[in-house]
A = this chain, B = another copy of it.
Amino acid sequence: MAHTVSYKPLVQSTTERPHITETTKTSHALARAEAICRSHGVRLTRIRRTVLEALCSSSKPLGAYELADLLAPGPRRMAPITVYRALDFLIEQGLAHRLASRNAYIATVDSDGTHEATAYLICEDCGAVEEASSAAFTGALTDLLARAGFEHRSKVLEVAGRCSRCQGRGGRH
């Protein structure tokens, strides 16, 4: 079956302002993903890879339906379930992350297996998201959980506000 995946280079929509060319970042992340999947004994199929690529090359988190449109534009877009399955896989492997407060997904940047607590800083102006962590923060959170006797499985630390770049640009547009 031919089944061409009409995948586009994912230029940022022209209404956005791309910060940097993300090609390098993307290829790095992909190489890392390949390695991780090999070591985990799981398959990074074409769909999963294209979803990950899309997440990597976007400067902002993407919704599942947005991904569906990006990966197979036009009237016959990818079925939601297909995207969700790919996302579930990527999240399980620690390659992507779900932003619960946004119903959107981003590629994980760090994730070197270091068990650091990561806060996601979501800019409400430009939509960009950056990961932030520190030893003090990780320590304090770990301590907090220990004292509560809580056995954590997943942490969702999301902070909404304005990134430093957008603060410089005066009031909210």
Residues of chain A having any CB pair with chain B under 8 Å: 100-101, 119, 121, 123-124, 130, 132-134, 136-137, 139-141, 143-145, 147-164, 167
Q: Is the CB of B144 within 8 A of A137?
A: yes
Residue of B nearest to A162 (CB): B151
A137-B141, A144-B137 known; A156 vs B153 contact (CB < 8 Å): no
- A165 to B140 Cα, complex, angstroms: 22
Q: Are B134 and A150 in contact (CB under 8 A)?
A: no
Chain B residues with CB under 8 Å of A101's CB are 100, 156
Which one of B140, B143, B161 lies within 8 Å of A151 (CB-CB)? B161
Are the CB atoms of A156 and B160 closer together than 8 Å?
A: yes
